[in-house]
Amino acid sequence: MAKRVESPSSINTFFQCNRKYYYHYIEKLPTKASIHTVRGNIAHSVLEHFYTLDVSSFQNYEKDFKVAVQKLFLEQWGAYKEELFALQLPQKELEFYFEETLLMLLNWCHYYLKEFKEKFSGSIEETFTKMKPITEVEYSSDFLSVRGFIDAIRSEGEQVHIIDYKTNANSEIKDSILLQLGIYSLLYQEKHNKIPDKVGVFFLKDKLYLLPVDQQLLENARFAIEQIHAQTMTTEKIADYKKNITPLCKWRTGQCDFYSVCQPYR
């Protein structure tokens, strides 16, 4: 069997539960959207559009950037109105996520403005351009048979920093996040013949956390990629994709998308 083109999401799904990977990526059963996915997409869209702003008319950058973020958020929330409506959430719950997501983005803007003030050259346009990262770029590797979208790539002097945005409730850098960042580092290294100096996560409820890229991070990512290809190139039989029964199968407020077909507790 040919190598499947994997992504950080599919690889993390594989290690979370082989059977879930089978249902999602091999059998391609439908999945349900969630408010967490939709609002995550909205937040990412706001941050991507932020760096395309025309700041030529900005005079008070602290006020103008905050207003711009709020306007972008309202635009993107409106752009996703069909997806939000399809969730059929109670109005109060929808309002909660609206307010929470806006506060996340204003928190991000607070840190952006703090850095902007430190780097301000006297020209708003010049400083804005200087601080602008490369955003939402797709990297793919035929050799690794992996692809992924990197939220932001920043140049800090001679250093390269890869940043991922998260709307997670807490700021724990879990193994799944380290694997994602390791995969991004491998993809960047292959394309540019340079290992990024740091990788990090900006938890929008909190702040940016940066980590140095070391050989362990790269080796762990490379090993994970090799493991998933070894499995998927050998078999596509459901029996070879074992269930991993954990609290992620079913919890108080929800369940795995494939709970009904999987029936983990039978």
Query: And the tokens for 10?
Result: 């599919």
Enclosing domain of residue 222:
133-229
- In whole angstroms, give the CA distance from residue 57 to residue 65: 11
Residue 60 sits in the same domain as residue 116: yes
How confident is the model at residue 253, as a pLDDT? Answer: 83
- Whether residue 236 lies inside any domain: the answer is no
Backbone angles phi, psi at 208, to 5 degrees: -85, 135
Contact present, 112 and 72 (Cβ < 8 Å): no
How confident is the model at residue 188, as a pLDDT? Answer: 98
As for how many domains the chain has, the answer is: 2
pTM, two decimal places: 0.94
Q: Per-residue confidence at 37, pLDDT binned at 50, 70, 90?
A: very high
Percent of the chain with pLDDT over 70: 100
pLDDT in tens, 71-126: 999 999 999 999 999 999 999 999 999 999 999 999 999 999 999 999 998 999 99
- Whether residue 118 lies inside any domain: the answer is yes
- Whether residue 247 lies inside any domain: the answer is no
The region, left, alpha or beta by phi > 0 then psi within -120 to 50, assigned to residue 193 is: left
Report how far apart, in Å, the C-alpha atoms of 190 and of each of 40, 62, 141, 152, 218 are.
28, 39, 8, 17, 12
Q: Is the pLDDT of residue 252 over 90?
A: no
- Domain harbouring 168, CATH code: 3.90.320.10
How confident is the model at residue 96, as a pLDDT? Answer: 98
Residue 45 sits in the same domain as residue 122: yes
